[in-house]
Amino acid sequence: MEHTTDSALVVFSGGQDSATCLAWALSRFGRVETMGFDYGQRHAVELACRTEVLARLRALSPPWGTKLGPDTLLTLDAFQQLGETALTHDVEITMTASGLPSTFVPGRNLIFLTLAAAQAYRRGIKHIVTGVCETDFSGYPDCRDDTMKALQVAVNLGMQARLVIDTPLMWLTKAQTWGLAHDLGGQALVELILEHTHTCYQGSRGTRHAWGYGCGACPACELRAAGYAGYRERSASGG
């Protein structure tokens, strides 16, 4: 099957990283589609943010709105059936004996990207874009560059295709990810991401901080807050 090189499928969760990746894809490709997963996240708020961010990105830039094609939301009950993690069940966020936080959902990104590849294959899309990152990350092994490269090889062998897994945030710090959003869509995009994306593991949107909504105490909030502070410092010093 011929895959249009000027097309991308963005794995889009409604969070800061995948929203930035979506803007990155919209600035580079002629046709962009999105895919998300309802995998029994404890907090449905993230899925509500997806729809909001998509609508606002269309409104922010008419050229982006024209490029932005259909969104697909897949339901995956399997992770909940497999067992407890702090993202799928009411379990405390702690460091586990394996050295990984209890928010780690084993196999999640492997399955997500395999399903995204299946969709890209069917839709004639060449590029799969994901917001995984090896810098500043929570230690998730399925976010590593080597994992993504191995997965690209595996799906291409298994589907007899030449798909490309793009990871624009792989080597960026969280502060640099804010900077990338600013480069792509100016202050308006930064504001959109601050206001409408969701990162907090607790699903909290009660309090608006300088860096957006969240409980302010979970590892995801801490990372987002520190990244935004770093970004503001760099912008203030003109760097």
Binding region for Zn ion (CB under 5 A): 200, 202, 214-215, 218, 221
| H or E, element range at 32 | strand 31-38
| Short-list 28, 33, 66, 73, CA closest to 49 | 73
Give whichever of 42 and 56 is closer to Zn ion, judged by the CB atom.
Answer: 42
| Short-list 168, 162, 183, CA closest to 130 | 168
Least Cβ distance, residue 118 to Zn ion (angstroms): 32
Least Cβ distance, residue 3 to Zn ion (angstroms): 38
Least Cβ distance, residue 215 to Zn ion (angstroms): 3
Least Cβ distance, residue 239 to Zn ion (angstroms): 28
Least Cβ distance, residue 95 to Zn ion (angstroms): 17
| Short-list 116, 100, 203, CA closest to 151 | 116
Residues 160-183, buried b or exposed e (16+ Cβ, 10 A)? eeebebbbbbbebbbbbbbbbbbe
Strands 208-209 and 125-129, sheet pairing: unpaired
Give whichever of 103 and 152 is closer to Zn ion, judged by the CB atom.
Answer: 103
**CA–CA distances in Å: residue 174 to residues 120, 220, 239:** 28, 11, 15
Give whichever of 14 and 214 is closer to Zn ion, judged by the CB atom.
Answer: 214
7 three-state secondary structure: strand
Least Cβ distance, residue 224 to Zn ion (angstroms): 8
| H or E, element range at 88 | none
Give whichever of 28 and 43 is closer to Zn ion, judged by the CB atom.
Answer: 43
- How many whole angstroms separate alpha carbon 149 and alpha carbon 136? 19
Give whichever of 110 and 215 is closer to Zn ion, judged by the CB atom.
Answer: 215
- How many whole angstroms separate alpha carbon 21 and alpha carbon 117? 17
| Short-list 145, 154, 116, CA closest to 32 | 116
Least Cβ distance, residue 132 to Zn ion (angstroms): 20
Give whichever of 112 and 201 is closer to Zn ion, judged by the CB atom.
Answer: 201
Give whichever of 185 and 214 is closer to Zn ion, judged by the CB atom.
Answer: 214
